[in-house]
């Protein structure tokens, strides 16, 4: 039987944050759970919600955190440890302010580019060697000092339609990583939208 993979959707818990830009990663995990008819449930003694689903022969553990994103790493690392999933079979889905809105990039390891959710994961796993599905949300027009408000904003109606397409592609990219590998997934899904 295939070994399980952990898909960690980064985001903040609760309805106030559910549809914000910063929750792009968690939205991907919810979309995958809906596709497979999985239900995210509390995990005993671990601050995550998780659902077990299967993509062909590959078991996937879909997870979101019940703590704030900046401290979500330990929960994901505990779940991985509990389920015997090494860091090489962890996929983090997250928003990326340094990518133009509508872009999608798949990579493994490397810098966190100051993303505090990724910082927390790197620290908790003691490794940066997990895959990332990076969802471009663009930057606020007014410059860096507006980042926080921008991240916690909801999308405009026009943006929402485009964002939905990217979320579907991000979900497809997650499923491609265990079956097709990193290079093929990058070749198929990496795309840069014009700012």
DSSP secondary-structure letter at 92? E
Name residue 48's beta-bridge partners: 65
22 catalytic per annotation: yes
What would the two tokens of residue 192 be? 């840069």
Q: Which of 11, 106, 137, 1 is nearest to 66 (CA)?
A: 11
- CA pair distance 81, 25, nearest whole angstrom: 21
Which residues on adjacent β-strands are paired with residue 188?
A: none
Distant-in-sequence, close-in-space partners of 153: CB < 8 Å, separation ≥ 6: 20, 21
Q: Tokens 């689903």 correspond to what residue?
A: 53
Q: How far apart are CA 180 and CA 55, in angstroms?
A: 12
C-alpha 35/C-alpha 150 separation (Å) is 29
Distance CA(124)–CA(145), nearest Å, equals 29
Q: Which amino acids are annotated catalytic?
A: 22
């Amino acid at each position: 039987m295939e070994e399980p993979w952990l898909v960690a959707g980064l985001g903040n818990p609760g309805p106030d944050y559910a549809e914000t830009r910063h929750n792009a990663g968690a939205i991907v995990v919810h979309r995958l759970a809906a596709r497979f008819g999985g239900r995210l449930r509390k995990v005993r003694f671990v601050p995550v919600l998780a659902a077990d689903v299967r993509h062909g022969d590959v078991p996937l553990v879909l997870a979101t955190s019940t703590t704030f994103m900046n401290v979500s790493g330990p929960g994901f690392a505990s779940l991985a440890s509990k389920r015997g999933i090494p860091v090489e079979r962890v996929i983090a889905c997250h928003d990326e302010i340094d990518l133009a809105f509508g872009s999608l990039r798949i990579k493994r390891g490397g810098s966190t580019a100051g993303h505090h959710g990724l910082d927390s994961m790197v620290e908790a796993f003691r490794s940066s060697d997990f895959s990332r599905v990076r969802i471009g949300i663009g930057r606020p027009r007014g410059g860096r000092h507006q980042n926080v408000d921008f991240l916690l904003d909801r999308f405009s109606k026009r943006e929402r339609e485009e964002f939905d397409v990217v979320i579907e592609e991000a979900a497809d990219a997650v499923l491609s990583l265990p079956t097709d590998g990193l290079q093929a997934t990058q070749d198929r899904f990496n795309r840069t939208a014009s700012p």
